[in-house]
Amino acid sequence: MSDTPLIKGGRGDPPAYRHPPYQGGQGGSNLKSIFNLIITSYLSDHLRRTRTRVIAQQVGSED
């Protein structure tokens, strides 16, 4: 008998897949900047309101 496999066309060792290098900041930079500004503004405003509400509750509970 021969040592050849009965099933041909096996996958063997496929070549390692490599992602292309990161290219952030090249396409749509202005859109990303506007999006980040909107998110940052929203989060900072939300945090400020939350802190104000917590402080008001603490002051109200001291009376």
- Average of per-residue pLDDT values in the chain: 77
- Tokens 């001291």 belong to 62
Better-predicted residue by pLDDT, 57 or 16: 57
Residues 6+ apart with CB under 8 A from 32: 25
Q: Decide if pLDDT at 25 tops 90.
A: no
Better-predicted residue by pLDDT, 58 or 10: 58
Structure tokens at 24: 């952030």
Largest pairwise CA distance in the chain = 95
Q: Decide if pLDDT at 56 tops 60.
A: yes
Better-predicted residue by pLDDT, 37 or 14: 37
